[in-house]
Structure formats: structure tokens, C-alpha cells
Amino acid sequence: MRIGELGERCGVTTKTIRYYESIGLLTEPARTASGYRDYGDDAVERLRFIRDAQSTGLSLSEVASVLELKGSGERSCAHTMALIDSHVASIDAQIEQLTAARRELEALAQRARKLDPASCTDPNRCQVISSARADA
């Protein structure tokens, strides 16, 4: 199949396919006599795997590391699980940071509701922010 058909079957652009070839995620296919790329069904499976792995949050370099293991005949489950565990830990840390930021903003909003807008006379500062810094 040609590159356009491969892209349609896998839901990616031809530019993406060419990029994946350029970085070694997809092997460059055989060419027809007229010079068109000629992909087989294995390219469909590999491209779908790359797309699915990326949708889980794996980077292209992480996907490449999994494919490298598979290509050398090794099992990749432990490696893949380590990658996933790392991403889960990263997401957990982001959630903690966002939760802390949300608490701070809620406290700031509560303080702001108690302020009198008429007393905000400084042309260079907002009393909502300034009063929060004074409380800290």
C-alpha cells in the first residue's frame, strides 16, 4: 500500500509517517518501480502500536526503546511497565502540585472577597495579590 493509504488506515498524516521513518521508528519500505513507497501489513501494525503507545503518554524515544527491545527478540514487558510507572509517578506529582496551587488560589479568592474595592488606590498593585503576599 502507498503512504497515503497507510496514513488513512492508521489515522496519521503522511508527514508523520515520513518523520517516523527518518527517526527509525518505521523502517523505510520497499519502493515500487515508479518510486512510490510500498508498505505491507506489518507497517500498519507497527504504526498503530506507535500511535497507541503515544496516546498513553510515552514519548517517541520511549516508544523506540520498546520497539528496540522487541526488534532484538527480547521481552519488553518489564521495561514498558517501568516506563508506565514513571509516568504514573510524574502525573501523581503534577496532581499534588495542582492541588496545592488550587488551595492557594482558593485562599486568595476568599481573602479577596473580604477586601473593599474602594480601598484599592495603589496604581501599581492590586490589593488582592498584595494582601496575599503580606499574609504569607
Domain extent listing, the chain: 3-74, 84-135
Predicted local confidence at residue 124, as pLDDT? 86
pLDDT, one tens digit per residue, over 116-128 is 888 888 888 888 8
pTM for this structure?
Answer: 0.74
Q: How confident is the model at residue 131 (pLDDT cuts 50, 70, 90)?
A: low
Do residues 117 and 128 touch, judged by C-beta distance below 8 A? Answer: no
Do residues 57 and 24 touch, judged by C-beta distance below 8 A? Answer: no
Question: What is 3-74's CATH number?
Answer: 1.10.1660.10
pLDDT, one tens digit per residue, over 54-101 is 999 999 999 999 999 999 999 999 999 999 999 999 999 999 999 999
Q: How confident is the model at residue 53 (pLDDT cuts 50, 70, 90)?
A: very high
Do residues 45 and 86 touch, judged by C-beta distance below 8 A? Answer: no
Predicted local confidence at residue 121, as pLDDT? 84
- Does the pLDDT of residue 132 top 70, yes or no? no
Name the 3-class secondary structure at 125.
coil
